[in-house]
Amino acid sequence: MTEETTIASARKTELLEAAYRYSLAHGLADLSLRPLAAAIGSSPRVLMFLFGNKDGLLRELLARARVDELAMLGHVEEASTTTAIGLAAAVERVWAWLAAEEHRQLLKLWAEAYARSLIEPDGVWGGFAAATVSDWLGVLAACQPPGERDSEEGVARRTLALAMLRGALLDLLATADHDRVTAAVHHQLALFRRAAVPRP
């Protein structure tokens, strides 16, 4: 690798992080290279050189957002490396992270990308929603005991858990009513725990 290539790669990483911080505050749907470049101390020409075009930059920003999402999911999955913590415990951990105020900008960006992925399945956003569903279901599955994980009921239960989390998150993002939405999540968690108790 030449010195010029190393410098360009470092500059690309630096600008990607700056563009990611900008997108957290301003969103991605109406992203324009000129105001973005001005805000992060670059120029449209440099961004085009480093990322190819606007779609190339958007793809890398979506991938960067997914890194943060996977880091959160990895933290939950790590708790089940020695023994499955169970679906209720996994949902409780995920919701605690989703409901934290400091993650609100990232989750608004996630919701925007998720919706655009459904509306424009063949564009730069394509596959984002399906990938996040797969990511989240995989983590929830890892937290289930093996006997439950591999059963049809286990698949249905983690699918329901994901649907509940996603719906609660969208409600929280729309209303900021943390107490009401969290109470609803805890109500569903109680149902999950009761369902997990072996029957005599």
- 32 and 101 together in one domain: no
- 190 and 151 together in one domain: yes
Q: What is the pLDDT along the chain (200 residues), one digit of tens a residue?
A: 564 556 568 889 999 999 999 999 998 878 899 999 999 999 999 999 999 999 999 999 998 988 888 887 777 766 556 667 889 999 999 999 999 999 999 999 999 999 999 998 888 888 899 999 999 999 899 889 888 898 999 999 999 999 999 999 999 999 999 999 999 999 999 988 887 655 44
If phi > 0 it is left, if psi is from -120 to 50 it is alpha, else beta; for residue 175 that is alpha
- 113 and 164 together in one domain: yes
Q: Residue 128 in contact with residue 113, Cβ under 8 Å?
A: yes
Number of domains in the chain: 2
- 73 and 131 together in one domain: yes
- 47 and 123 together in one domain: no
Which residues are CB-contacts of 122 (< 8 A; sequence separation ≥ 6)? none
Print the domain residue range for 14.
1-52
Please state the pTM of the whole predicted model. Answer: 0.83
